[in-house]
Structure formats: structure tokens, C-alpha cells
Amino acid sequence: MENKFNIRNERNLTMLVDFYELTMGNGYLNKNLQNKIAYFDMFFRRVPDGGGYCIMAGVEQLIEYLNNLRFTDDDIIYLKNKNIFSEDFLKYLKDFKFNCDVWAVPEGNPVFPNEPLVTVKGPVIQAQLVETMILLTINHQTLIATKANRICRAAGNRPVMEFGSRRAQGYDGAIYGARAAIIGGCDSTACTISDKMFNIPAIGTMAHSWVQLFDNEYEAFKSWAELYPDNCLLLIDTYNVIKSGIPNAIKVFDEILKPLGKRPTGIRIDSGDITYLTKQCRKMLDEAGYEDCKIVVSNSLDEHIIRDVIDQGACVDSFGVGERLITAKSEPVFGGVYKLVAIENDNDLIPKIKISENDEKITNPGFKKIIRIFDKSSHKALADLIALKNEHINESKPLTIFDPVHTWKRKKLTNYYTKELQVQLFNNGNCIYNSPSVLDIRDFAKIETDKLWPEVLRFENPHNYYVDLSENLWSLKHSLLHKYTKSYETQE
């Protein structure tokens, strides 16, 4: 279904750049390097929370940003007043037209460390300029989609509602956080504007203040039941769940709904011990003949508490999750980076590497792609291979993959098929990709996640999914490493 309320976001975030992208841009132009073709990869190094995989998200917003890239007259005046940028550079920005090629992994895909989630090819002055926004966009939504995916897995088949707007880190943290939460598997959100923008279901009933406003809890519940007899969900912990909330709720169900032939939708508990209170409530509701009345709980939930209360036999039908989801509280940073991996010299591709004393921070050079390898019988994902863009895998032949560090660990694959993960978003600055709807992305994420072995899905200490380098990429990387090490030795 098309969302006729979909807001094509035209917010111009061009100036959301780290200032060094402008000082470098000015430098590229001054050194006549502005049109040198550069290749940048966006990738991350570690899955948050010690999990086995991340859920890619944010591509639609990345596209909107790139489509809206332009410097206003105001921007140019602001920059001119800094007195460090050349007139040529200011003119370049004034006439700026994005003409890079961009590839990305579509939203909803499970992704793994070191994989190029986004690749940009184009004039270095442009490819550099978009660094901050690519990172910011993908880092944020992938973080939240991944956290939501953990929480929803813990909840099993019980729906999870995203409730966190009020504790988000800024307006977009709420708006796009809700979008990412749905991609990760949430059922609905409390954030109305996100529903309007992305056609994701917004839900909500009452706050404690509704109850407090009336002379007593019974009157508050009664008014609500009269108002929403078809969707009567009562918040029962304003005063005392067991002594006041549940008895008043049952009384109202009996007195208001029953004569109308209506059944209650549910009750919600937002404080206190979930296991104890939900068991008591379930018992009291059942005894009153409301076995079908759902119990919704909220209050600082995350995947660990949800798993715990389910293990303890808490009687919960759905979970409302707030601050710990919308901020990814347990690990609120997704450490994606954006690194130069190649340049072109007279149409020759020159791979580039960033060395580091920390082995994990050494980059994979060259223009690359991600190949996911599936088992032909089970359709489970066996491994990902990061390969050079021009490599081709002959699926009719066995494929040997190997650990990029412990290279003697080798595995021969037969009976497999492959899929390239990246798709092209922009060709010479023109968008050539249509984003699916958010709900379709959620369905896709579910399907793709189900292709991972259960060992990879484990919350703690999951099996490390294989992300290997092709033989060609491995050789290229190691030849560059040797070259640089040698150059220091010469200096000494």
C-alpha cells in the first residue's frame, strides 16, 4: 500500500559537515586535485552488545540527503566570512552538483564487521564532503535497528511497541529511531510523526495524568471505557496495581463494557515487579472472566529483562520498550568509519590502505563488493566474501574460503549459490534506486535473518559468522602492508 501521507523529506542538511571536510575541499581545489577520482568505503568493526550481526538501516535517508545536496547563498556567505576559503572554492560550492556513484547494502540485510556497507566513487572533493552525513545516517539507524532486533528476538512472538521518543537524543533520534525500530522488528511506535512520515503504525492510550485528572481512578477508567469501548486499554499503576488498579479495571469492564457486549483490550503496567504483578493480574482477570484481556508491560525494558521475565513465567502479551531501545542504552555508539580505499591515476585504480598499530584498524584496500554464500539445500548463509569489484565466482565450481588472519583455516564449499549484497544507489549523481516501504523492509529483515544459523543469532558469545577476503583481495592487502613496513625500515 502506498502511503499518501509520505513526506518526501526536503530538509537540506548539506552544511551538516565536519569542518575539516571543507578545509580539505578547499585544499583539493587549490592543489587541482578536486576531480581526482576517489573510492571511499563505510564499514564498522564490531557488532554492538557482543551480538552476532547488525541490521542495515538508513539508506532511504542517505538517498534523501544526497538528493538534496546544495549550498545556499547564506551558506556561502557564512563560509566566506571565515576568511580561509578561496573564491574558487566558494564558487565551486555555489555551483555544486553531486555526481558520484554510490553503492550500498539495502536496508534490512544482516551485515557484519569490515563489510563495505556504503561505497562512494567520485571526485575526491565530493566523496569527502559526504563523509559525516553517510556515517551519521547509517550509524544511527543501524544501531537502533540492531538493538530493536535483539529486543524483538527476546520477546519471541509477543509484539514489541517502541515507546522512547521522550528519551531519544534529539528529534531525529525519535523520528528515525522509530523507523529503525520497526525495521529491527518492532510492531508499532508511539511516535505519531513517524507513522505519518513512514506509514508505520502509531499506537497509544492513556498516561498517568488521565487517571490523576479525575476525582478517582474508577471515574477515570469509566470515562475511558465509555470513550473507547472498542479499544479499552487501561493503565492500572497510578496508585496501586493490586489494591486499586485491577479491581477498578474489572469493575469498569463489568459495568461499562459488558452491557455493550464489548470485551476489554487490555491493561498496562508501567512500574513495579513485572513477574509478580502480571501473574497476580492474570489470575484476577481470569477469575473475573477476562481471559482474553491482554497484559501490556513497560518500564525500562531491554532484551535481558524481557528474557528474564518470560523465563520466570510473567504473564505478558506485549512489551512497550522506551529509553533502552531508542538510545541503544547498553551500547549507544555504532562505530562506523569512512575510509579512502582507492584512487584513480590516469584511469588506473591505485588501492590505498590505512595502516594502524592496532591490527583491527588496518583497512581493506581497493574497490570492493560483498558476496554472500548460501547453502543450496538449507538456504542458510554460510559465509560472506569481501572481493574486488571485478571478481567473479563460478558457482559451478567448488570455492575455497580461508580465515584472513589464520590463513591455514580453510574450508571448501560446494553446493552453494551466491548473492552480491551491495546495490547501486546513484549513477553519476542520479538516484537509480527506489526504497521499499519500511514495513516491507521489516519483512525482508525477518526473512534474511532467518537465513542465519541459530548459533549466529545467540545473544551472548554468538558464533562468528565467516567474513573472509577473496584470495585476490588478501594478496593485495598484504602486498601493501609489506610495502609500507619496508618504507619505515628504510628510514631507520
For residues 140 and 180, give the distance between their C-alpha atoms in angstroms, rounded to a whole number: 9
Near a copy of itself in 395-454, by CB under 8 A: none
Q: Using CB under 8 A as the criterion, what x/- string covers residues 69-88 for binding a copy of itself?
A: -----xx-xx-----x----
Q: Contact region for a copy of itself (CB under 8 A) — 354-362, 386-394, 399-407, 462-470?
A: 354-362
Q: Is 323 in the site for a copy of itself (CB under 8 A)?
A: yes
Name which position in 166, 380, 409, 446 contacts a copy of itself (CB under 8 A): 166
Q: CB–CB of 168/181 below 8 Å? A: no
Residue matched to cell numbers 535497528: 145
Q: CB–CB of 413/401 below 8 Å? A: yes
Near a copy of itself in 252-271, by CB under 8 A: 271
Q: Contact region for a copy of itself (CB under 8 A) — 196-204, 289-297, 304-312, 456-464?
A: 196-204
Instruction: Characterize the bridge pairing of strands 37-43 and 337-345.
Output: antiparallel
Name which position in 168, 252, 413, 421 contacts a copy of itself (CB under 8 A): 168
Near a copy of itself in 7-46, by CB under 8 A: 11, 13, 15-24, 26-27, 30-31, 33, 36, 38, 40
Q: Which of 26, 422 has the CB closer to a copy of itself?
A: 26
Q: Is 479 in the site for a copy of itself (CB under 8 A)?
A: no
Q: Which of 165, 470 has the CB closer to a copy of itself?
A: 165
Binding residue count for a copy of itself, defined by CB under 8 A: 108
- Phi-psi label, residue 461: left if phi above 0, alpha if psi -120 to 50, beta otherwise: left
- Please give the angle made by the CA atoms of 480, 485 and 488, to the nearest 5 degrees: 130
Q: Is 47 in the site for a copy of itself (CB under 8 A)?
A: no
The least CB distance from residue 18 to a copy of itself, in Å, is 4
Name which position in 54, 102, 117, 124 contacts a copy of itself (CB under 8 A): 124
For residues 383 and 22, give the distance between their C-alpha atoms in angstroms, rounded to a whole number: 39
Name which position in 67, 132, 435, 437 contacts a copy of itself (CB under 8 A): 132
Q: Which of 161, 467 has the CB closer to a copy of itself?
A: 161
**Nine cell digits for residue 350:** 591505485
The least CB distance from residue 176 to a copy of itself, in Å, is 5
- Please give the angle made by the CA atoms of 199, 203 and 207, to the nearest 5 degrees: 150
The least CB distance from residue 351 to a copy of itself, in Å, is 10
- 436 closest CA partner among 119, 112, 109: 109
Residues 6+ apart with CB under 8 A from 462: 50, 51, 52, 455, 456
Q: Which of 242, 431 has the CB closer to a copy of itself?
A: 242
- Phi-psi label, residue 58: left if phi above 0, alpha if psi -120 to 50, beta otherwise: left
Near a copy of itself in 203-242, by CB under 8 A: 203-210, 212-213, 223-224, 227-228, 231, 237-240
Q: Contact region for a copy of itself (CB under 8 A) — 46-54, 102-110, 113-121, 132-140?
A: 132-140
Q: Is 389 exposed, middle or buried (0-12, 13-18, 19+ CB in 10 A)?
A: middle
Amino acid at 409: K
For residues 101 and 428, give the distance between their C-alpha atoms in angstroms, rounded to a whole number: 5
Q: Which of 344, 420 has the CB closer to a copy of itself?
A: 344
